[in-house]
Amino acid sequence: MTSGEAQILTHGYCFDGLVSAALATHLVRQLHREVTRFGYRSCGYGPRLKQIPQAWLGGAVNVLCDFRYVESPRLSYYFDHHATAFASRGEETAARERVARSKGARHLVFDPTYGSCAKLMADTMRETFGVDMRHLTDLVAWADKVDAARFDDPEEAFFARAPALVLADVAEHHGSSAYVGQLAPRLLAHPLEALAASEDVRALASPIAEEKARYLALVRQAGKRFGDVVLVDLAESGARPAGKFATYVAFPDCTYSVALLRTQDQLKVGVGYNPWSGKPRRHDVAALCKREGGGGHAVVGAATFAFADIDRARQAAHRIVEQLGR
């Protein structure tokens, strides 16, 4: 354990995870004045990281946000809103009991009714810990809007013209530990407009916009209809995902989307409910993804596979399509 240091661990390649890291930084600064150094970890759901290693909790204060729970006496604060944060109800109960026995040394805040981890953290920091959050209202509101997909239409999210959405695009493409550690503190010090207009962010955002246009064309070409479900299989195309709402832009009347994609280090089966379809949601997406070793929320989720397991990934995608069609 490193004296005077805080470790901030968060869901990587995710705007909500990035904002959660910024809020965790603010929380530690306000409540632990002895902390003078911060380390950051970007945690990615995948076949090689089902839970974070205990060694990552090496600070005098350790905060885990927006990611699957891990039991450790060194975990100071835990915040999450994913329905699959715990492997079972029994694990959650046991975790809460252990934290309660710590007599205030540890804190566990879990509420899957929240649309974003950032909003859960902001409310808890204000109401439970008495931290002033007024200067972060806009940041939290945008994180909540992005993670809960509270947009008027998919085009607003996909084409990312608002400053916060530019930053969200960059976070989803460049959410490594180093980048989270660089950008999270800046979110506390600068307005979203200033950050989105900064030279380094613009340099990263410009090629993303071009990549999204190419990706949208591929989705339109590869998408196959199975009733009100659209399956997009790009696992062997070499195309990287660029814009999580591309399927809804290309197929605005579909109710669900299932996409088999090749990310930087794994295959991903992404599943989502289209809130702009005008049709009711009939399935719990997180539950379907959990059956395939993944997780998520009622409206969006994913399961991940190693590159060598492309056949298993494809079979999982087709099973989910079949279940969504019922």
Q: Which CATH number belongs to the domain containing residue 259 in this structure? A: 3.10.310.30
Cα–chain-centroid distance for residue 51?
15
Do both 162 and 297 map to the same domain?
no
pLDDT of residue 237: 86
Do both 166 and 309 map to the same domain?
no
Backbone phi, psi, residue 103, to 5°: 55, 45
Per-residue pLDDT of the chain (326 residues; tens, 9 = 90+): 677 999 999 999 999 999 999 999 999 999 999 999 999 999 986 555 568 999 999 999 999 999 999 999 999 999 999 988 998 999 999 999 999 999 999 999 999 999 999 999 999 999 999 999 999 999 999 999 999 989 999 999 899 999 999 999 999 989 899 999 999 999 999 999 999 999 999 999 999 988 999 999 999 999 999 999 999 999 988 787 788 899 999 999 999 999 999 987 889 999 999 999 999 999 999 999 999 999 999 999 999 999 999 999 999 999 999 999 99
Q: Which of 197, 232, 263 is the last residue before a domain boundary?
A: 197
Give domain status of residue 314, yes or no: yes
Query: Residue 241: which domain range?
Result: 215-324
Q: Which of 197, 230, 259 is the last residue before a domain boundary?
A: 197
Do both 257 and 148 map to the same domain?
no
Give domain status of residue 210, yes or no: no
pLDDT of residue 241: 78
Do both 13 and 157 map to the same domain?
yes
pLDDT of residue 95: 98
Where do runs of H (alpha helix) occur along 77-198?
A: 89-101, 117-127, 137-147, 154-159, 163-173, 177-189, 192-197
Computed on alpha carbons and rounded to an integer, the radius of gyration of the chain in Å comes to 19
Do both 165 and 242 map to the same domain?
no
Residues 6+ apart with CB under 8 A from 200: none
pLDDT of residue 70: 95
Do both 42 and 173 map to the same domain?
yes
Do both 132 and 176 map to the same domain?
yes
Cα–chain-centroid distance for residue 138?
19
Identify the CA nearest to 28 among candidates 52, 9, 12, 51: 9
Give domain status of residue 239, yes or no: yes
The count of other CB atoms within 10 Å of the CB of residue 148 is 18
pLDDT of residue 48: 53
Task: Output the six-digit token pair for 67.
Answer: 């990611």
DSSP bridge pairs for 109: 79
Do both 241 and 164 map to the same domain?
no
Give domain status of residue 71, yes or no: yes
Whether the Cβ atoms of residue 295 and residue 318 lie closer than 8 Å to each other: no
Do both 116 and 48 map to the same domain?
yes
Identify each DSSP E strand in the chain by its residue range.
2-11, 37-43, 59-65, 77-80, 107-110, 224-226, 229-233, 256-262, 267-273, 295-296, 300-305
Do both 101 and 47 map to the same domain?
yes
Burial classification of residue 248, based on how many CB atoms lie within 10 Å of its CB (0-12 exposed, 13-18 middle, 19 or more buried) = buried
Do both 115 and 21 map to the same domain?
yes
pLDDT of residue 240: 78
Q: Which CATH number belongs to the domain containing residue 48 in this structure? A: 3.90.1640
* Tally of domains in the chain: 2
Do both 241 and 179 map to the same domain?
no
